[in-house]
Amino acid sequence: MSSPRNQHPETRGIDWVAIERIFVLQVLALLALAGAFIGYVNWSSQIAFAEFSAASNRAALESKAHPGSAPAVQAEKRQVPGAGST
At residue 64, φ and ψ (nearest 5 deg) are -70, -35
For the full predicted model, state whether its pTM sits above 0.75. no
pLDDT digits (tens, 9 = 90+) for 23-82: 999 999 999 999 999 999 999 998 888 888 888 887 777 777 665 655 544 555 555 566
Q: Is residue 63 within 8 Å of residue 69, measured between CB atoms?
A: yes
Read off the pLDDT of each residue in 1-26 and give the average, rounded to a whole number: 80
What gap in Å lies between CA 66 and CA 43, rounded to an integer? 35
Neighbouring residues of 12: CB distance < 8 A, sequence distance ≥ 6: 4
